[in-house]
C-alpha cells in the first residue's frame, strides 16, 4: 500500500476551521475574554445553532433553556463552551459511516463522544490539571480512521487474519498491511491543522501510551477512555475485537481492581445517558 497515497488524502480533507485552534488556545488562557470567545462561535450560524442545541443537553445541567451563545458562555464558563464548540466542529468529520471499519453512520461519532466523556471523567478523578484537554484528546483519538477507512476496506480480511492468527493489535495489523496505522494518520492530520503538541502526541500514542514523552498521563487517559468506550459497546467497529489493553495505564490512574473499573464504567454510562443529544449533531 502506498503510504504517500494515504498522506495525500490528508490534504484532500477540508481543513478544520481555524477557530478550533483559537478556542483551544483560549481554553488554556486564564485571561481569555469570554465575550470574545462567544463572538467567534456566533460568527458561524450553523455552528451557533448546534452549540445552542448541545448546551441544552442534560449533561451540562442548565436549569433553563439558553438562547444565545453569550448567555451559555456566562452560565457554563470557558472550559465547557470550548468543549461544546469543539464537539460541534468535530461532529462534521466523525459522523459519516466508515465502511472499512464496519462503522455505520453515527457509530464513530458515538464512540468519539463517549471516549471524550470517559477521558474527562478519568481526568477529573485523578485531578489531571487539564480535563478539557483530556476531553478533546478522547474526542479526536480515532480521527485517523476517516482517512484510513478507504485503505483499510480492501484489506480488512488480511488485517482480521493477522489479529486472530498472530494475536497482534488492530493498529499493528494496520501498520503491516496498509503501511500506517490510524493513530499516526490522526496525529498527522492534527499537526496539519496546527493543534497543540500534547494533543497530537496523545492521539499518536492512544494505543501505545507508554511511548508518549511530552504528556504520558494524557496518552494513558486517552487509551483507557478508548478501552472503556469499547467495554460500553458505544459505536464499536471491526477493531473492537482486537483491543490490547495497557495494564500500566490502569495503575497510573489509580484503578486498582475490577471494582474500581466498574465504578468508573457506571459513572461513565450515566454521563453517556445525559449526553444523548450530542450523538446527533452533524
Ligand atoms: Fe484507536
Secondary structure (DSSP) of 144-164 = THHHHHHHHGGGHHHHHHHHH
pLDDT of 244 reads 81
Q: pLDDT 10s digit of each residue in the chain, 282 long?
A: 578 889 899 988 999 999 999 999 999 998 999 999 999 999 999 999 999 999 999 999 998 999 999 999 999 999 999 999 999 999 999 999 998 898 999 999 999 999 999 999 999 999 999 999 999 999 999 999 999 999 999 999 999 999 999 999 999 999 999 999 999 999 999 999 999 999 999 999 999 999 999 999 999 999 999 999 988 887 667 776 567 888 899 999 999 888 999 999 999 999 999 999 999 987
CA 204–ligand 1 middle distance (angstroms)? 9
CA 236–ligand 1 middle distance (angstroms)? 11
CA 32–ligand 1 middle distance (angstroms)? 32
| Cβ neighbours of residue 181 closer than 8 Å, sequence gap 6 or more | 144, 148, 171, 172, 174, 175, 207
CA 38–ligand 1 middle distance (angstroms)? 32
**Which residues have beta carbons under 5 A from ligand 1 (an ion)?**
142
What does the domain layout of the chain look like in residue ranges? 16-94, 95-282
CA 208–ligand 1 middle distance (angstroms)? 10
pLDDT of 104 reads 94
CA 183–ligand 1 middle distance (angstroms)? 6
CA 24–ligand 1 middle distance (angstroms)? 22
CA 239–ligand 1 middle distance (angstroms)? 8
CA 143–ligand 1 middle distance (angstroms)? 8
95-282 CATH fold: Hypothetical protein af1432 (1.10.3210)
CA 207–ligand 1 middle distance (angstroms)? 6
CA 147–ligand 1 middle distance (angstroms)? 13
Span between the terminal Cα atoms of the chain, in Å: 32
DSSP code for 14: P
CA 282–ligand 1 middle distance (angstroms)? 21
CA 206–ligand 1 middle distance (angstroms)? 6
Residue 57: which of 103, 88, 24 has the closest Cα? 88
Cβ-defined contacts of 65-74 (< 8 Å, 24+): 68/42, 69/38, 69/41, 69/42, 70/35, 70/38, 70/42, 72/38, 73/34, 73/35, 73/37, 73/38, 74/34
Contact in structure between 89 and 17 (CB atoms under 8 Å): yes
Amino acid at each position: 500500500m502506498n503510504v504517500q497515497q494515504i498522506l495525500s488524502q490528508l490534504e484532500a480533507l477540508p481543513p478544520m476551521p481555524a477557530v478550533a485552534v483559537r478556542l483551544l488556545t483560549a481554553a488554556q488562557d486564564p485571561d481569555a475574554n469570554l465575550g470574545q470567545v462567544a463572538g467567534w462561535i456566533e460568527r458561524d450560524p450553523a455552528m451557533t445553532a448546534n452549540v445552542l442545541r448541545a448546551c441544552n443537553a442534560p449533561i451540562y445541567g442548565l436549569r433553563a433553556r439558553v438562547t444565545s451563545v453569550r448567555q451559555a458562555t456566562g452560565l457554563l464558563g470557558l472550559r465547557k463552551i470550548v468543549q461544546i464548540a469543539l464537539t460541534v466542529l468535530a461532529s462534521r468529520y466523525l459522523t459519516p459511516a466508515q465502511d472499512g471499519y464496519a462503522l455505520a453512520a453515527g457509530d464513530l461519532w458515538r464512540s468519539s463522544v463517549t471516549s471524550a466523556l470517559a477521558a474527562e471523567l478519568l481526568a477529573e478523578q485523578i485531578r489531571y490539571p487539564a480535563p478539557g484537554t483530556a476531553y478533546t484528546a478522547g474526542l479526536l483519538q480515532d480521527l485517523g480512521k476517516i482517512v484510513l477507512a478507504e485503505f483499510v476496506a480492501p484489506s480488512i480480511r488480511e488485517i482480521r487474519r493477522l489479529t486472530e492468527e498472530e494475536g497482534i493489535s488492530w493498529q499493528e495489523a494496520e501498520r503491516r498491511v496498509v503501511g500506517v496505522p490510524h493513530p499516526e494518520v490522526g496525529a498527522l492530520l492534527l499537526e496539519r491543522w496546527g493543534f497543540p503538541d500534547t494533543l497530537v502526541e496523545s492521539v499518536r500514542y492512544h494505543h501505545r501510551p507508554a511511548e508518549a514523552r511530552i504528556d504520558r498521563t494524557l496518552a494513558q487517559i486517552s487509551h483507557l477512555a478508548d478501552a472503556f468506550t469499547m467495554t460500553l459497546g458505544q459505536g464499536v467497529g471491526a477493531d473492537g475485537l482486537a483491543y490490547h489493553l495497557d495494564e500500566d495505564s490502569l495503575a497510573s490512574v489509580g484503578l486498582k481492581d475490577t471494582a474500581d473499573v466498574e465504578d468508573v464504567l457506571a459513572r461513565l454510562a450515566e454521563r453517556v445517558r445525559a449526553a444523548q443529544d450530542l450523538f446527533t449533531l452533524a
